[in-house]
Amino acid sequence: MTTTLEKPRTQRPALRRSGDWARRAPLLPALVFLIIVTQLPFLGTLVISFMNWNAYYPDERGFAGFDNFARVLTDVTTREAIVTTIVLTVSVVLISLLLGMLVALLLDRAFLGRGIVRTMMITPFLVVPVAAALVWKHALYNPEYGLFNGLLTAFLGPNAPQPDWVSTLPLTSVVAALVWQWTPFMMLIILAGLQSKPLDVIEAAQLDGCTNLQVFRHMTFPHLRQYLELGGLLGSIYIVQNFDAVFTITSGGLGTANLPYTIYQTFYNAQDYGRASAAGVVVVIGTILIATLALRTVSSLFREEGSR
């Protein structure tokens, strides 16, 4: 089958075929390993999503048809989790993209200690996510001894307001902690984009009397677009799956339970395997929508690199 598609070459067919396999051989271990470890479990999830299977009621195991999906999609908890996931992902990605772009623009110019500032900016991304979430929860947000309320007291005196950040603004608290961790990621990608922009053209435009704003709007921003897309889509893939921050800061309470956390709950605590799997399938379908876009963006960057 494969030989018919091959470009005509001078070798004899038998030789050519063995050459093909010699080329493929180094690839196969990785490919086989990945298919077994990542694709087969998902097939398992797909099968279980059509089954009535709760580990607490082992006798009732059987085929359930679309019942799990009906339950998942009509259930208030899941619907809330879907909304939470979307709100969480969109707000974290957009805010960190915007901040990341602003910081990248600041860092794209020469100033004293640029390297130090760049290193300081990367640091939040290099704190283990669970550790970062713990620090935000206990050392920053805590209403009695957290840094935020401590600073309020320090600057406004003993009568300063002392809000309980996590209880009053639960989702915002999670978003803020995640934005802090993901802005460096966006900043790095956008900074790479800025540093690859055609400097000669921009210098020419500046000499011709274009204002900085004009240069940004008509030259820098269009060039940055694909980097913004790449950052946004890669960020979305990671943040849609976020578990650490939700688990640590709010333990999924107060309306912050996103889909990964809800699925974890359904499976780990409620032991409802069928329903957890159906929810898993729903997440995968959602992710495929984002992923298709992401793949398209990566492949456009990729083609550009190839044509260079």
Binders of another protein in range 172-211 (CB under 8 A)? 180, 183-185, 188-189, 191-193
By CB under 8 A, is residue 56 in contact with another protein? no
Task: Considering the complex, state which of residue 12 and residue 109 has its C-beta at the smaller distance from another protein.
Answer: 109
Report d(CA 100, CA 105) in Å as an integer.
Answer: 9
Of the candidate residues 15, 70, 94, 154, the single one contacting another protein (CB under 8 A): 154
In the complex, the smallest distance separating the C-beta of residue 40 from another protein, rounded to whole angstroms, is: 8
By CB under 8 A, is residue 126 in contact with another protein? yes
Task: Considering the complex, state which of residue 83 and residue 192 has its C-beta at the smaller distance from another protein.
Answer: 192
Of the candidate residues 1, 5, 76, 213, the single one contacting another protein (CB under 8 A): 5
Of the candidate residues 4, 10, 38, 269, the single one contacting another protein (CB under 8 A): 38
Task: Considering the complex, state which of residue 12 and residue 115 has its C-beta at the smaller distance from another protein.
Answer: 115
Site for another protein in 246-305 (CB under 8 A): 247-248, 251, 259-260, 263-264, 267-268, 273, 276-277, 280-281, 283-284, 287-288, 290-291, 294-295, 298-299, 301-302, 305
Tokens 């809330």 correspond to 80
Of the candidate residues 23, 58, 59, 307, the single one contacting another protein (CB under 8 A): 23
Which stretch in 58-66, 74-82, 215-223, 227-235 sits in contact with another protein by CB under 8 A?
227-235
By CB under 8 A, is residue 228 in contact with another protein? no
Of the candidate residues 15, 34, 201, 270, the single one contacting another protein (CB under 8 A): 34
Task: Considering the complex, state which of residue 165 and residue 247 has its C-beta at the smaller distance from another protein.
Answer: 247
- The count of chain residues that interact with another protein, using the rule CB under 8 A, is 112
Query: Which residues does residue 62 pair with via DSSP β-bridges, in sequence order?
Result: 52
In the complex, the smallest distance separating the C-beta of residue 71 from another protein, rounded to whole angstroms, is: 16
